[in-house]
Amino acid sequence: MRGLRLPDGGELPVLGQGTWGMGERTSDHDAEVRALRHGLDLGIGLVDTAEMYGSGGAEKVVGTALSGRRDEAFVVSKVLPHHADRAGTVAACERSLRRLGTDRLDLYLLHWRGSVPLEETMEAFEDLQRSGKIRCFGVSNFDPADMTELFGTSAGARVQTDQVLYNLTRRGPEFDLLPWCRRRDLPVMAYSPIEQGRLRGEPVLRSLAERRGVTPAQIALAWVLNTEGVCAIPKAATVEHVERNRAALGITLEAEELRELDEHFPPPRRPRPLEIL
């Protein structure tokens, strides 16, 4: 599977597995584990989770899925902003590691900006990196102004990614955030690339999908995956859904298809506030 080069020389897989909504119902546990493991079988090694998801339940699901297979995965988790002071970040990471059943994270993110000074959170990330508990760190839901301020901190330039809401109906980052990140060779992680499933009902996507013999969700996901410098982390809670997501990686949209999508989902012509789900 192709990947995006991280600033530190590592590689971020271009397609991952999101876990927002997992770990909330015990009745779904086995199916969620099967889906994640099937993703690993298909080479989808990037697994994104957070301490917030299911109040730690999603991390436990991921931990079960990765049992005996940790080295096949690139694991991402996130610290809540109210835990993000120096000591709180370290403690939150250690709790996540226990739930995940691993001794390290490949990437650790600040979930969104809170009241703790960025410098303090970055210092905590450096502490965790020095101790071997995380390989690299980044942020989530940061707009260009936040990123500029972040890069003014002592460790800001060592941030490896910004994870944001990005899909056909949430194209605001194209105006300023994506160019800002591209100038610094900083990959962007797109969450909710299918707008939590709502894009499946869009007529233009249904029409394109019918012509291609695929699903509307696959067209929406392929559009994100075709965007320079962006990876996508769609959630899939069933084996069949995982297979459809993996197949979207093989869809290259033609210029005429992209023009048709632009007509129905116009790119931004001015700055927009960063949207968050």
Instruction: State the catalytic residues.
Output: 53
11-13 and 3-5 strand pairing:
antiparallel
- Given a contact cutoff of 8 angstroms between Cβ atoms, the answer to whether 110 and 134 are in contact is no
- Given a contact cutoff of 8 angstroms between Cβ atoms, the answer to whether 193 and 224 are in contact is yes
Longest dimension (CA), the chain: 54
The set of residues, in sequence order, having a beta carbon less than 8 Å from that of 31 and lying 6+ positions away, is: 237, 238
For 114-162, the DSSP string reads: -SS-HHHHHHHHHHHHHTTSEEEEEEES--HHHHHHHTTSTTGGG---E
Tokens coding 122: 């970055």
CA 203, 207, 210, 215 torsion-angle sign: negative
What angle (nearest 5°) sits at the alpha carbon of residue 126, between those of residues 62 and 82? 65
Give the integer Cα–Cα distance in Å for 184 and 197.
32
Whose CA is closest to 139, among 115, 166, 111?
Answer: 111
